[in-house]
């Protein structure tokens, strides 16, 4: 939608709460008045939203919305294409912290108003529009992951069916055919994904770096790469950790509340799951990460806590190899450890 943009415009602030079917929008005008409206989360609804944002006065609009996967992606692409809109796509954890000081009720309209206030009050970080090839790779990778889940369900059903003599042969045959078909689809689609990786220099380089990290095989490398490539190139490693939900969430207040810290889980669950599976392997096969795991266990951390810490270390390692362009080196990841000193001496 075309809209004249002048250098002396007032800025309006908008927050949009996104769900699968609806968009709840709140707009703080130049006069400070809050207006709210609901739209369908569809192509037609996105156009109506743009017409509403244009309004009677030519103004720049700063929009904030929470990252909510596929439900917010199409909207973000539409908004980012307009030169008069400045868009921020926020980690829900940041918004929740901000909302604690403002929100008295939890509704879509209230959430939208909180996001509008966030746009007005907080430092702005503009959303970096991902490339079409990166979006396609992530979509393909996530579809493969859904097929892998389907494959696991079929395996379990077949195992259960084979365990009893009451299962008709025709059921066994059908389950085996269905399982074989899903396996072929997964293999074919992984081949397609790898072709896309090989076709682009940056994707190819980063994939090759990823498989040098202990515990990250070709399957997990594809998942991790497809999720990380959509993060802003300006993000720090701490922001990577927060976006994956691997950052610790402390629960302590005076003497009445002092519970063990847990990870926030307020982030990308697919990336978090892939890193955790890689940590399971890395803790066994890499002497640096394995030593780190054993050290944590010796300090009375639970197995789960130690593995989560290894997963977080893996994310730090990935950040480092992407920035440097150099393969994984455990001695750099644990510079003060005895193993690192031995590696340097050797």
120-133 mean pLDDT? 90
What's the total number of domains in the chain? 3
Q: Are residues 117 and 136 located together in one domain of the fold?
A: no
More confident residue, 65 or 265: 65
CB-facing half-sphere around the CA of 53: CA atoms within 13 A: 32
By three-state DSSP, how is residue 80 classified?
Answer: helix
Residue 71 reports pLDDT greater than 60: yes
Domain assignment present for 94? yes
182-204 mean pLDDT? 97
The confidence score (pLDDT) of residue 253 equals 45
- CATH assignment of the domain containing 45: 3.30.420.40
96-122 mean pLDDT? 80
Q: Are residues 45 and 99 located together in one domain of the fold?
A: yes
Q: Which of 121, 144, 162 is the endpoint of a domain?
A: 121
Percent of the chain residues past pLDDT 70, beyond the cut: 87
Q: Are residues 241 and 316 located together in one domain of the fold?
A: yes
Distance CA 45, CA 229 (A): 29
217-233 mean pLDDT? 93
The confidence score (pLDDT) of residue 256 equals 47
Q: Where are the alpha helices (DSSP H) in the chain?
A: 43-54, 70-80, 92-99, 108-121, 132-162, 169-199, 201-210, 218-228, 237-244, 269-285, 287-298, 303-324, 330-333, 338-345
pTM reported for the whole predicted model: 0.80
Q: Are residues 246 and 338 located together in one domain of the fold?
A: yes
Domain assignment present for 82? yes
Q: Are residues 54 and 19 located together in one domain of the fold?
A: yes
Q: Are residues 172 and 245 located together in one domain of the fold?
A: no
Q: Are residues 15 and 114 located together in one domain of the fold?
A: yes
Of 50-59, 138-147, 176-185, the least confident: 50-59
Domain assignment present for 228? no
Task: Retrieve residue 93's tokens.
Answer: 């954890």
Domain assignment present for 146? yes
Domain assignment present for 204? no
Domain assignment present for 103? yes
By three-state DSSP, how is residue 115 classified?
Answer: helix
Q: Which of 87, 121, 155 is the endpoint of a domain?
A: 121
Q: Collect contacts of 148-152 with beta carbons under 8 A, ≥24 apart.
A: 148/186, 150/182, 151/179, 151/182, 151/183, 151/186
More confident residue, 109 or 171: 171
Domain assignment present for 127? no
What confidence tens digit (pLDDT) does each residue in 51-67 have?
Answer: 999 875 557 899 999 88
- 16 forms beta bridges with 25, 65
Residues 6+ apart with CB under 8 A from 170: none
Whether 244 contacts 271, CB under 8 Å: yes
Measure Cα distances from 284 to 249, 276, 339 in Å. Answer: 27, 13, 15
CB-facing half-sphere around the CA of 37: CA atoms within 13 A: 15
248-263 mean pLDDT? 56
Residue 252 reports pLDDT greater than 50: no
Domain assignment present for 3? no
Of 107-116, 136-145, 159-168, 191-200, the least confident: 107-116
Give the phi and the psi of residue 22 in degrees, each rounded to 5: -130, 160
Q: Are residues 96 and 163 located together in one domain of the fold?
A: no
Q: Are residues 84 and 36 located together in one domain of the fold?
A: yes
Confidence of residue 257 (pLDDT cuts 50, 70, 90): very low
The confidence score (pLDDT) of residue 57 equals 59
The confidence score (pLDDT) of residue 254 equals 46
Residue in the structure block whose two tokens are 């130049």:
30
Q: Are residues 19 and 93 located together in one domain of the fold?
A: yes
Parent domain of 168: 132-199
132-152 mean pLDDT? 95
Q: Are residues 117 and 158 located together in one domain of the fold?
A: no
Confidence of residue 27 (pLDDT cuts 50, 70, 90): very high
Q: Are residues 165 and 107 located together in one domain of the fold?
A: no
The confidence score (pLDDT) of residue 345 equals 47
């Amino acid at each position: 939608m075309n809209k004249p943009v002048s250098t002396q415009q007032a800025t309006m602030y908008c927050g949009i709460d996104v769900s699968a079917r609806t968009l709840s929008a709140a707009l703080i005008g130049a006069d400070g008045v809050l207006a709210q409206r609901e739209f369908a989360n569809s192509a037609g609804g996105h156009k109506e939203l743009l017409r509403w944002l244009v309004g009677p006065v030519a103004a720049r609009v700063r929009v904030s919305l929470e990252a909510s996967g596929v439900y917010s992606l199409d909207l973000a692409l539409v908004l980012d294409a307009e030169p008069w809109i400045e868009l921020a796509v926020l980690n829900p954890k940041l918004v929740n912290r901000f909302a604690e000081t403002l929100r008295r009720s939890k509704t879509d309209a209230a959430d939208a108003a909180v996001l509008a206030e966030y746009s007005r009050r907080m430092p702005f970080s503009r959303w970096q529009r991902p490339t079409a090839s990166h979006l396609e790779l992530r979509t393909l990778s996530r579809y493969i992951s859904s097929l892998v889940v389907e494959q696991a369900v079929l395996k379990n059903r077949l195992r259960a069916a084979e365990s009893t003599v009451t299962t008709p042969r025709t059921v066994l045959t059908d389950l085996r055919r269905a399982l074989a078909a899903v396996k072929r689809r997964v293999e074919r689609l992984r081949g397609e994904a790898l072709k896309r990786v090989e076709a682009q220099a940056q994707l190819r380089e980063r994939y090759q770096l990823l498989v040098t990290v202990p515990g990250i095989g070709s399957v997990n490398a594809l998942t991790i790469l497809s999720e990380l490539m959509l993060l802003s190139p300006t993000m720090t490693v701490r922001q990577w950790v927060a976006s994956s939900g691997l950052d610790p969430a402390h629960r302590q207040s005076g003497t009445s509340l002092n519970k063990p810290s847990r990870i926030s889980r307020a982030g990308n669950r697919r990336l978090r799951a892939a890193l955790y599976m890689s940590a399971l392997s890395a803790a066994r096969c890499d002497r640096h990460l394995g030593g780190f795991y054993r050290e944590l266990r010796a300090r009375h951390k639970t197995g789960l806590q130690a593995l989560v810490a290894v997963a977080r270390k893996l994310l730090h390692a990935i950040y480092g190899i992407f920035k440097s362009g150099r393969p994984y080196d455990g001695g750099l990841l644990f510079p003060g450890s005895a193993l690192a000193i031995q590696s340097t001496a050797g």
